[in-house]
Amino acid sequence: MKIIETKQLKDGMILGESIIDSSGVVELLNKGTHLTQRHIELISNLGFTEVKVLEHENEAIENVTLDVHAFKENASKNGDAFDLMKLLNDLDEIDNHVYEPTERSVVNRNMEVHVLTGEGNIPIDVKHQKMIDDTKEVFRNIRETGKLDLERIKNNVEEALPDMIRNNDVLMRLNQLKESDDYTFQHSLRVSILATMVGKWLGYSQVELIELGEAGLLYDIGKMNIPEFIVKKEENVNAEEFELIKKHAQFGYSILLKTQGVSSNIKYAALHHHERMDGSGYPLRLRENQIHDFAKIIMVCDVFDAMITDRPYRKGVSPLLAADYLSWSSGKIFDAEVCYIFIKKLSEYYLGKQVKLSTGETGKIVFIDHNYPTRPLVQVGERFVDLAKDRSVHVEVLM
């Protein structure tokens, strides 16, 4: 295996290590992927300057062995608290789980959604500050006690739901949230908003939307069982740390399994949200209809928000570039219907927006081709740049 610069990548090269987004959790491309020109373009546009590839086709891909004792040493060096016995017990618990086949969510796609409209444009984090504070406290309690106050979560989602989904401009809804130093909580809240929007567009009933909103808040709670110094690491995690982070889907399922009143829909959303349609995900390597409907929605929202959100060590990409990644991955690793409705509704709100291109020029989106919704026509001064034809240029910032 060798490390090479992105500009030296060629068709047919094989990734020796997964490409992980800036949150340190989401696999954008799996190790073992045979690279195409489209892969290379994506890797470059997403800001990765170097990657690991195999030196020859028959080279074995290294498997990472999890050594939790090494984490204890690292924690001690950094002066961080670390409960080795708790982690060992948590790992032992998920190793003994027997996972039943998915109980699918049954959705009436023709049912009209009767949800009260919200009030004006009061930002979510102003109108629902109590909900945000309550939910943060629930997250802290999970880390400290391992117990989840489900009723508190449900009540808050029910109260906030009208304002979470009243406006189809999801980018505006996300931008209304103040930045938080607790990435896991903030990310879960943003995914909850995105997921309920997608559920609305798919025709979910109000009862299902509330449950989907809960699932969006709780799908990542397994991270509470990951040592905090790894979750909050302000640089790319190493391969061994990533192997532990990948256990969070099972940790979350385990927490929810022990919580009275949690539906199977919410449990499976947590367990399956890193599975992929082609079987390349984790932890169970499920495929297509083996994956729960809620998880199919949440995985798209999870990746999209992780890609567009700024982190201390990497700036988020533009929503259009993240949507372009989803579009390219649609039907391969993400559910095609979910991607289609997400990108279609998102693109409706691009029209007329000011943008900055990767060339440094600024302009305005004047036309969206529904065949290429993530590659709009941009007016720059007196000329037009058609991103559907010129793939070397992309929207860097939505202004």
Fold type of domain 83-316: Hypothetical protein af1432 (1.10.3210)
pLDDT at 90 over 70: yes
HEC letters along 300-314:
HHHHHHHHHCCECCE
Cα–Cα distance, 290 to 279 (Å, whole number): 10
CA distances from 151 to 89, 154, 165, 318 (A): 27, 5, 21, 36
Residue-level pLDDT at 334: 93
Rounded to an integer, the average pLDDT of 90-100 is 79
Lowest pLDDT segment from 3-12, 67-76, 223-232, 373-382: 67-76
Hunting for tokens 């590839």 — which residue is that?
A: 53
pLDDT one-digit tens code per residue, 336-362 = 999 999 998 888 888 888 888 988 899
Query: How long a stretch of residues is the chain?
Result: 399
HEC letters along 200-253:
HHHCCCHHHHHHHHHHHHHCCHHHHHCCHHHHCCCCCCCHHHHHHHCCHHHHHH
Residue 291 banded pLDDT, cuts 50, 70, 90: very high
pTM of this structure:
0.85
Residue 111 banded pLDDT, cuts 50, 70, 90: very low
Hunting for tokens 């390597």 — which residue is that?
A: 285
In CATH, which of 1.10.10.10, 3.40.50.800, 3.30.360.10, 3.90.105.10 is domain 2-53?
A: 3.90.105.10
Cα–Cα distance, 329 to 272 (Å, whole number): 17
Between 79 and 48, whose confidence is greater? 48
Residue 173 banded pLDDT, cuts 50, 70, 90: low
Residue-level pLDDT at 181: 59
Rounded to an integer, the average pLDDT of 168-179 is 67
Cα–Cα distance, 187 to 223 (Å, whole number): 12
pLDDT one-digit tens code per residue, 238-253 = 778 888 888 999 999 9
pLDDT at 113 over 50: no
pLDDT one-digit tens code per residue, 115-128 = 433 444 556 666 66
Locate the DSSP E strands across the chain: 2-5, 19-20, 27-29, 50-53, 354-357, 362-367, 377-380, 383-386, 395-398
Residue-level pLDDT at 364: 92
Residue 33, classed as helix, strand or coil, is coil
